[in-house]
């Protein structure tokens, strides 16, 4: 589908079509034809079954069931309901920009995904202060489970991060730990390690072998030369991935690389595990109260709480981060929020897709600097593990090798990029 927005401000680049979900066999098609309904929404119903069976949630239960049916049948996308909702004007504008009769499959994939999660909030009457389900987070149980399961891995990670020096290798370890957050909680990071053996450096080195583009040789000297600088992190997921973001921010402030770190967080629940300010504060509070068996976590929680109190860490929420608009169509509020940033780290696959407008850029020939660096309001760093069939600025030989080694290399999160762009280049 052609891009229904003004193109990014680049003198020669014209955005290619946006990804849709119409092609069987693609991750996009599987997501919108099956996974988001049969896996994600079904799990939402199961995890909130007690609430949804109560009289206060009768309307919400019916609306979630209706939403699942709409997705099964790929019906026409309708406007979001909620005339007094604070983000309704943005969603009215977005839905009205779609061609008539646009369905869940024919809509731009990113639009359809974000739309489903916004419809979940509509089902729960999230913004209505007179509703019994006002501000109910249907994903909070999954996020809290992720937080609780992260502690053993976090204990090992934080014991290593706190020892890092203000130098090239220290910053690289902190950056790559934030990049591989989700995978380090599974196969890459040994959850039973107590930190006594320095396995973490070798893990990072092995993980670097799966990078399809690595701008750390340019990024790291730039940041060290600019220190102390102002860093922003556009956060993705709660759970262990958020812990790795906090660990990166901890290193940046403690080492003096950054004077402040600002966390750009979702303004409402979305994409199941995406982090809001409440999730970040809950993580800090939980770690600070851990017992002697998790000394590194407890010490980190106390440091993080102090950073927040002293203003060295800042939390900012915005509904814009919950919407599928490309980042070249950033809201005035979000743009203003980034005005003091020297470097902005963009975490996660969904945020990366928004950097690219979810457009089918050439993986090799369209550089990250041309596609993103040319319009972003400050130095921008994408820390992304691939979970969607979209990308730019990768090395052809590494990409081809990944395709030979792993048929699902574009979507399984085992391959990543560190890409650095600047408005000054």
**Of 357, 313, 302, nearest to 16 (Cα)?**
357
| Pairing assessment for the beta strands 211-214 and 313-318 based on DSSP bridges | unpaired
Both tokens of residue 98? 């779609």
Q: Which CATH number covers residue 220?
A: 3.40.50.10880
Strands (E), 189-325: 211-214, 229-234, 258-266, 313-318
Please tell me whether residues 109 and 211 are part of one structural domain: no
Residues near 146 by beta carbon (within 8 Å), at least 6 away in sequence: 237, 238, 239, 240, 273
Same domain, 94 and 147: no
pLDDT of residue 65: 98
Residue 121 confidence class, pLDDT cut points 50, 70, 90: very high
Task: Specify if 266 maps to a domain.
Answer: yes
Could you tell me if residue 61 is inside a domain? yes
> What pLDDT is recorded for position 160?
86
DSSP string covering 330-356: --HHHHHHTTT-SEEEEESHHHHHHHT
Q: What is the pTM of this model?
A: 0.94
Q: Where are the beta strands (DSSP E) in 337-415?
A: 343-347, 379-385
| Number of domains observed in the structure of the chain | 2
- Same domain flag for 190 and 338: yes
Q: Do 234 and 216 share a structural domain? A: yes
Same-domain status, 298 and 365 = yes
Q: Are residues 100 and 218 in the same domain?
A: no
List, in sequence order, the alpha helices (H) in 356-395.
368
9 within domain boundaries: no
Note whether residue 6 is domain-resident: no
Instruction: Check whether residue 373 and residue 231 sit in a common domain.
Output: yes
Residue 14, domain member (yes or no): no
Task: Say what percent of the chain tops pLDDT 90.
Answer: 84
- Are residues 240 and 115 part of one domain? no
Is there a domain that residue 1 lies in?
Answer: no
Kindly state whether residue 149 falls inside one of the protein's structural domains: yes
Q: What pLDDT, on the 0 to 100 scale, is given for residue 190?
A: 44
Tell me which residue of 392, 394, 382, 390 sits closest to 110, measured CA to CA. Answer: 390
Q: Sheet holding 258-266: strands in order across?
A: 211-214, 416-421, 379-385, 343-347, 229-234, 258-266, 313-318
Is there a cis peptide before residue 228, judged by omega within 30 degrees of 0?
A: yes
Q: Is residue 5 part of a domain?
A: no
- In this predicted model, what pLDDT tens digit does every residue of 75-115 receive, in sequence order? 999 999 999 999 999 999 999 999 999 999 999 999 999 99
Regarding whether 327 and 210 lie in a shared domain, the answer is: yes
* CA 105 – CA 95 distance, rounded (Å): 14
**Of 109, 135, 161, the domain-final residue:** 135
Q: Do 169 and 274 reside in the same domain of the chain? A: yes
Residue 383 belongs to domain spanning: 143-421
Same domain, 33 and 69: yes
Give the pLDDT confidence of 33-81 residue by residue, as tens digits. Answer: 999 999 999 999 999 999 999 999 999 999 999 999 999 999 999 999 9
366-396, pLDDT tens digit by residue? 999 999 999 999 999 999 999 999 999 999 9
Tell me: do 51 and 196 sit in the same domain.
Answer: no
Tell which of 85, 106, 135 closes a domain: 135
Asked if residues 18 and 109 have their Cβ atoms less than 8 Å apart, the reply is yes
Which residue, of 135, 168, 193, is where some domain finishes? 135
Tell me which residue of 286, 312, 313 sits closest to 297, measured CA to CA. 286
* CATH, residue 64: 1.20.930.60
């Amino acid at each position: 589908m052609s891009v229904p927005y003004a193109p990014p401000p680049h003198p020669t680049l014209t955005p290619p079509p946006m990804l849709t979900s119409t092609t069987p066999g693609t991750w996009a098609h599987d997501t919108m034809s099956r996974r988001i309904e049969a896996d994600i929404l079904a799990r939402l119903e199961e995890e909130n079954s007690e609430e949804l069976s109560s009289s206060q949630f009768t309307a919400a239960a019916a609306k979630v069931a209706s939403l699942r049916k709409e997705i099964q049948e790929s019906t026409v996308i309708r406007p979001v309901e909620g005339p007094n909702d604070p983000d309704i004007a943005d969603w009215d504008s977005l839905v009205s920009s779609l061609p008539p009769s646009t369905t869940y499959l024919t809509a731009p994939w990113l639009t359809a995904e974000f739309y489903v999660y916004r419809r979940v909030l509509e089902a729960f009457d999230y913004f209505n202060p007179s509703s019994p389900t006002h501000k109910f987070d249907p994903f909070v149980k999954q996020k809290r489970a992720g937080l609780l399961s992260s502690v053993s891995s976090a204990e090992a990670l934080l014991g290593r991060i706190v020892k890092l020096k203000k130098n090239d290798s220290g910053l690289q370890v902190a950056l790559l730990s934030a990049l591989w957050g989700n995978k380090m909680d599974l196969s890459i990071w040994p959850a039973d390690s107590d930190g006594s053996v320095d396995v973490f450096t070798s893990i990072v080195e092995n993980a670097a072998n799966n990078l399809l583009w690595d701008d750390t040789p340019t990024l790291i000297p730039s940041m060290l030369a600019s220190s102390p600088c102002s860093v922003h992190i556009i956060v993705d997921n709660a759970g262990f991935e958020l812990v790795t973001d906090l660990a990166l921010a901890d290193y940046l402030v403690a080492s003096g690389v950054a004077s402040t770190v600002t966390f750009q967080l979702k303004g409402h629940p979305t994409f199941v595990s995406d982090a809001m300010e409440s999730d970040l504060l809950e993580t800090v509070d939980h770690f600070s109260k851990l017992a002697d068996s998790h000394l590194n976590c407890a010490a980190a929680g106390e440091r993080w709480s102090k950073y927040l109190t002293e203003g060295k860490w800042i939390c900012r929420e915005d509904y814009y981060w919950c919407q599928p608009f490309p980042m070249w169509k950033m809201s005035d509020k979000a743009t203003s929020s980034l005005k003091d940033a020297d470097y902005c780290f963009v975490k996660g696959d969904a945020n990366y897709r928004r950097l690219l407008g979810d457009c089918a850029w050439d993986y090799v020939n369209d550089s990250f600097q041309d596609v993103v660096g040319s319009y972003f309001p400050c130095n921008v760093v994408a820390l992304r593990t691939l979970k969607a069939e979209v990308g730019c600025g990768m090395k052809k030989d590494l990409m081809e090798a990944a395709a030979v080694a792993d048929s699902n290399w574009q979507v399984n999160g085992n391959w990543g990029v560190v890409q650095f762009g600047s408005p000054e280049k």
